[in-house]
Amino acid sequence: MGLAACSSNETASTSKDSKAEEKVQKAEEKEKAKKEKEEQKEAEKQRKQQEKEKKEQEKKANEEQKKQQDEAKKKEEPKPVVNTDKATYENEVKPTIDEMIKEYDEIWNQDWRPIWGEASKNPESLDKNALKEKMESVANRYDALSKKNTEFKSGSKLTDPVLKEKIEKFRVEFGLATNYRSNAGRAVNQGIKGLAPMKDRMNEAQKSVKLSDQKLINAVASLTEVESKLGVSRN
C-alpha cells in the first residue's frame, strides 16, 4: 500500500473517531442538561415545600399566640357575677327598696295630697289644727323613712362594684327625696305656728316638693340601670 492510501485511511479513521467523540460528548451534555434540569426542578419543589411548611408553622404559631392571648385575657377579665348578684338583689335588696318606695308614695297620698290642693290655694280657709296634724305626720313619717333608708345596707352584698355604686346612688338620692318632703311638711307648720309668713312657708314647701320629685327621679334612674343590667323587672 502506498503512503497516500495509508494517509487517507488514517484521516478517515480520525474523522470517524472525532464524530464518535462528538456524539458521546453531545450525549453527555444532553444527559448533564437533563440532570441539571431535574435537579433544578427538585430544588424548586423543595423550595415550595419549605415555603409551605414555613407558612403552616407561622400559621400555627400565630394561632397558638392568639390562643394564649385569649386565655390570658380571660384570666384577666373578672368572672361573671351577674347571676349571683341577681339572686342577691331579688331576695335581699329589691324587697326593701320596693317597701320604701311604696311607703314614700303612701305618706304622700294619705297625709299630704288630700289637704295640699286646698292649702296651696287658700291656707287660711283650712282648719289650722287639722293642717298642723297632717303636716306633722308628713314630716315625722318621712323622717322615719329617711332613717330606714340610712340603715339600708343590703346593697353592699352585691359583688359587682358598678352595681354597688348604682345602689348607693339610689340610696343617697332617695334619702334626699324623703328629706325634702319632710322639710315641706315642716315648712308649712312653721307658717301655722307664726314662725314665718305663711305665704313664704308655702312657697318653701312647694320648692321642697319639686326638689324631692327630682331626687326621686334620679334615684329611680339609678335603680333602673341596676335592674336592666341584672335582667330584673321593676314591677
Q: Residue 137 sits in which domain range?
A: 82-230
Residues 32 and 123 in one domain: no
Q: Report, as an integer, the average pLDDT of 102-110.
A: 96
> What type of residue sits at position 90?
E
Closest listed residue to residue 172, CA positions, set 222, 129, 133: 222
Which three cell numbers mark 173?
338620692
**Mean pLDDT over residues 12-34, rounded?**
71
Whole-number mean pLDDT of the chain?
Answer: 84
Residues 67 and 113 reside in one and the same domain: no
Pick from 43, 60, 77: which residue ends a domain?
A: 77
Q: For residue 231, what is the DSSP state?
A: T
Residue 59 lies in a domain: yes
231: phi > 0 → left, psi -120 to 50 → alpha, else beta; which? left
Question: Do 100 and 200 share a domain, yes or no?
Answer: yes
Over residues 14-25, the mean pLDDT reads: 70
User: Does residue 170 carry a pLDDT above 70?
Assistant: yes
pLDDT computed for residue 186 by the predictor? 95
Q: Does the structure show a pLDDT above 60 at 135?
A: yes
Is 36 within a domain? yes
How many distinct structural domains can be found in the chain?
2
Domain end (from 62, 77, 92): 77
Q: Are 28 and 135 part of one and the same domain?
A: no
Residues 106 and 165 in one domain: yes
Count CB neighbours of 231 within 10 A: 9
Determine the pLDDT at residue 1: 54
Q: Are residues 53 and 90 in the same domain?
A: no
The tens digit of pLDDT for each residue in 194-203 reads: 899 988 998 9
Asked, for residue 3, whether it belongs to a domain, the answer is: no
Determine the average pLDDT of the residues in 69-74.
78
Any domain includes 1: no
Indicate whether 205 and 189 sit together in one domain.
Answer: yes
pLDDT value at residue 50: 75
CB 186 within 8 A of CB 143: no
- Please give the single-letter amino acid code of residue 45: K
Q: What is the pLDDT of residues 39-70, one digit of tens each?
A: 777 767 777 777 777 777 778 778 888 888 88
End-to-end CA distance of the chain: 136
Average pLDDT over residues 106-132: 79
Task: For residue 151, give the C-alpha cell.
Answer: 340603715
Is residue 7 assigned to a domain?
Answer: no
Query: Which of 52, 77, 102 is the last residue before a domain boundary?
Result: 77
In a domain, 180, yes or no: yes
Q: Return the closest-CA partner of residue 179 out of 227, 220, 211.
A: 211
Can you tell me the distance from the alpha carbon of 43 to that of 141, in angstroms, rounded to the nearest whole number?
95
DSSP structure string for 55-82: HHHHHHHHHHHHHHHHHHHHHHSPPP-H
